[in-house]
Chains A and B, each alone.
Chain A
Amino acid sequence: MNTHTYLRAYLAGIFLPTLVLPLLLIFVVVRLAYHVPIPVEQMLIFPMAVVPLLWGLWNMLWLCSYPHLHQPIGLHGAVLPLLLMPMGATLASALGVLAIGSHGVVWFGVCSVPYTLIAPVFLGALAGYYLVWKYIVGFLNRVLGIA
């Protein structure tokens, strides 16, 4: 089973983000059915289109670089938010999903994150990505025979 290793790495990488997609689609259905005045579609562009792609490519990069660097997959995954969060914030700001206020940033028009909590949230994202990549993506890589 040594063929198509990069394809398998991509599939293992996109597994978890694509599981979240049905949950996000609930918001779309609610908006269409109940005419909720929140631009859900603009919110979903990043998690539906960009995040799974980057997760798959990031796992392919891990597979490619592991013979040279021997980096643990958890640490490799924990680096991904350093790339994802600026991209997501930039896109969200351009689409009007993220607004910068005087006391903090406002996500989706309702979730206000004070500036003092941005650092803990960012560290939480790093920790979450570390755990998810170590245990879930690492498990999938072992199941698919690439780790």
Chain B
Amino acid sequence: MSTHDEERVKELLRQALKPVESEPESSRDLWPAVLKRLDEPSIQVPWFDWTLLGCLVGLAAFFPASIPVFLYYL
């Protein structure tokens, strides 16, 4: 293959294959959404649930015989 042929093949390949462009960027900035997600508390426990948990712990503390009964139903 002569030099001329090689140049011709290269030219044909350039015409057939489009140049690879870099990945287009997102139309909006995602960093504020990431920061907002990081600032969100993982779980929010309402006061009512804390009260229930406290009552349960109190019941088990003042009446330990209830613990095996609870385990029986778990």
Question: Are the C-beta atoms of B59 and A111 separated by less than 8 Å?
Answer: no
Which of A88, A112, A120, A128 is the one whose CB lies under 8 Å from B72?
A: A88
Contact B65 A111 (CB under 8 A): yes
With A and B bound together, what is the CA distance between A127 and B59 in angstroms? 11
Asked if A121 is at the interface (CB within 8 A of a chain B CB), the reply is: yes
Contact indicator B74/A121 (Cβ below 8 Å): no
Residues from chain A with a CB closer than 8 A to the CB of B65 are 107, 111-113
- Taking CB atoms, residues of chain B closer than 8 Å to A124 are 55-56, 59-60, 66, 70
- In the bound complex, how far is the Cα of B61 from the Cα of A56, in angstroms? 30
**Interface residue tally for chain B (C-beta within 8 Å):** 19
Q: Is A75 an interface residue (CB 8 A)?
A: no
Residue in contact with B74 in the complex, picked from A51, A113, A120, A130, CB distance below 8 Å: A51
* Count, chain A residues at interface, CB 8 A: 31
A121 and B56 contacting across the interface, CB-CB below 8 Å: no
Q: Write out the residue numbers on chain B whose beta carbons fall within 8 Å of the beta carbon of A8.
A: none
Using CB atoms, name the residue of chain A closest to B51. Answer: A127
Known: A112-B65, A121-B59, A121-B66. A46 touches B52 (CB 8 A): no
Q: Tell whether A107 pairs with B63 under 8 Å between CB atoms, given A128-B56, A134-B49.
A: no
Q: How far is the CA of A120 from the CA of B56 in the complex (A)?
A: 10
A108 contacts the other chain (CB 8 A): yes
Q: B74 near A20 (CB under 8 angstroms)? A: yes
Contact for A111 among B49, B55, B60, B69, CB less than 8 A: B69
A57 close to chain B: CB less than 8 A: no
| B interface list, Cβ under 8 A from A | 43, 45, 49, 52-53, 55-56, 59-60, 63, 65-66, 68-74
Q: Which residues of A contact B (CB under 8 A)?
A: 16-17, 20, 23-24, 43, 46-47, 51, 81, 84-85, 88, 92, 107-108, 111-113, 117, 120-121, 124-125, 127-128, 130-132, 134-135
